[in-house]
Amino acid sequence: MLTSRSHDLTADDRRFLESVVRQKKADNLVARRANALLLLDKGWTPETIGDALYLNEETVRGYWRAFQSQGRSSLEMKDYSKREGHLDAAQEAELAAHLEASPPRSTNEVRAHIEASYGESYSRSGAIKLLARLGFEYRKPARLPAVADEEKQAQFICNYEALRNHLELDEAILFADAVHPEHQSRPAHGWFRKGAKPAVKSTSGRQRLNIHGCLDLETFAFQFVEAERICAQTTRKLLEKAEGAHPAKRVIHVFLDNARYHHAKVLKPWLEAPERRVKLHFLPAYAPHLNSIESLWGVMHEHVTHNRCFDDFGEFTEAILTFFRETLPGNWHNFRDKITDNFRVISHQNHQLVQW
């Protein structure tokens, strides 16, 4: 129980606390603690101080006990004459321009630059707050194709939308591609309790499953061929399956990339046969983002391989084939927002290319 005699301050402590209260740049919490201690020294009760400062009276008592045992350090005082983050507006603008021209990999690089250029010392948390205030955020660069022909991309999108918007009832559009999932675990982000050390077991195998598939975005019908390797023969088998799955369609438009097996000469006689109903449309070079089936491969990995370890290749293969045979047709409505034909032109000019 605090009494009027139990909270007397020394003259030196009193002057120190009064200087804290009068500090214009003092932290609000620090100033409130100092104020509470000075009021106790004047004879105010913890209850009265609590009412005046909107504090719990036990909190006020805790301030006093901490000051008695820890002294001035209990206020968590900082040196406000030279506080962290002491860069003027011109220095901050100069720093922002430097960081934009030469993006740093870590806050350590930022802190080192500030120390060398301005003689100021920042903690890691202080540097993070400064970067946020200057409009920077920590993120991973997007992966762009080495060559991005904007004109060809724009023309492809224009032609595709014209075809889609004027598609006849006896026509269909499919997207085709090959995927080669490797028998290996894929660590992925997730929420874990702080301090935990999440891990995923890895396998020693390097076997790959080769799948050649085509997808109809209207119905999410998916045909595929599994083979030891993807080649002209698997391309033909896939296109034959596409025709068989769409018996009522007069024309089946198939969009696919420029892989060599898609252009194989041995396919030409088959493609030019009078009864042929498939018509191939090739994507611009280095433009996988214009093939909707690429998103399907990402969804497959998300549901099958992320943060999962399969002990043997057979189990791995069965899990992936089950996704295509059962999960996809049974839950395709849930995937519509992730697998679309909302195409856009990718331009190097719209990005800041990073070279570390």
pLDDT value of position 247: 96
Q: Identify whether 142 is part of a domain.
A: no
Pairwise CA distance, residues 306 & 264, whole Å: 34
Q: How far apart are CA 216 and CA 254, in angstroms?
A: 9
Rounded to the nearest 10 degrees, the angle between the axes of helix 28-41 and helix 11-22 is 140
pLDDT over threshold 70, residue 78: no
The answer to whether residues 179 and 305 belong to one domain is yes
Answer whether residue 52 is part of any domain: yes
The number of folded domains in the chain is 3
- Residue 323: CATH number of its domain: 3.30.420.10
Which of 60, 81, 102 corresponds to the end of one domain? 81
Asked whether residue 331 is domain-assigned, the answer is yes
Confidence at residue 190, expressed as pLDDT on a 0 to 100 scale: 81
**Does one domain contain both 174 and 57?**
no
Same domain (yes/no): 323, 293: yes
Task: Tell me which of 7 and 252 has the higher pLDDT.
Answer: 252
121 against 349, higher pLDDT: 121
Q: What is the pLDDT of residue 106?
A: 87
> Sign of the C-alpha dihedral, residues 334, 335, 337, 342?
negative
On whether residue 101 sits in a domain, the answer given is yes
Confidence of residue 80 (pLDDT cuts 50, 70, 90): very low
Whether 159 is in a domain gets the answer: yes
- Residue ending a domain, choose from 65, 81, 97: 81
Residue 82 predicted with pLDDT over 50: no
Cα(10)–Cα(38) distance, integer angstroms: 11
| Within-domain flag for 6 | no
258 with 239, same domain?
yes
Q: Which domain holds residue 108?
A: 84-133
Strand order in the sheet with 210-215: 222-227, 210-215, 171-179, 251-256, 278-282
Pairing of strands 171-179, 210-215: antiparallel
> What share of the chain in percent tops pLDDT 70?
90
pLDDT tens digits, residue range 136-185?
A: 988 877 676 677 788 999 999 999 999 999 999 999 999 999 999 999 88
Q: Could you tell me if 187 and 200 are in contact, meaning their C-beta atoms sit under 8 angstroms apart?
A: yes
Cβ-count burial 157-194 (b if 16+ within 10 Å, e if not):
beebeeeeeeeeeebbbbbbbbbebebbbbeeeeeeee
What pLDDT is recorded for position 85? Answer: 57
- What's the rounded mean pLDDT across residues 126-138? 89
Whether 281 and 327 map to the same domain: the answer is yes
Is 232 within a domain?
yes
> Which residues does 207 contact at the CB level (< 8 Å), separation at least 6?
182, 183, 313
pLDDT value at residue 297:
95
Contact 309, 201 (CB under 8 A): yes
Task: Say if residue 25's pLDDT is above 60.
Answer: no
Is residue 35 located within the same domain as residue 169?
no
- Per-residue pLDDT reduced to its tens digit, 286-302: 899 999 999 999 999 99
Counting every residue, how long is the chain? 356
pTM value? 0.64
Tell me: do 209 and 341 sit in the same domain: yes
Question: ∠ CA 322-327-329 to the nearest 5 degrees?
Answer: 110
Buried-exposed string 96-132: b where 16+ CB fall within 10 A, e elsewhere: beebeeeebeebeebbebbeeebebebeeebbeebbe
Check residue 120 and give its pLDDT. Answer: 87
Residues 208 and 325 in one domain: yes
50 lies in the same domain as 101 = no
Which pLDDT does position 6 carry in this prediction?
A: 62
CA angle 79, 83, 87 (to 5 degrees): 160
Q: Are 279 and 253 in contact (CB under 8 A)?
A: yes
- 102 and 76 in a single domain? The answer is no
Strand bridging mode 210-215 / 278-282: unpaired
Are 113 and 62 part of one and the same domain? no
Outline where DSSP puts E strands in the chain.
171-179, 210-215, 222-227, 251-256, 278-282
Do 165 and 311 lie in one domain? The reply is yes
Looking at the domain assignment, is residue 177 inside a domain? yes
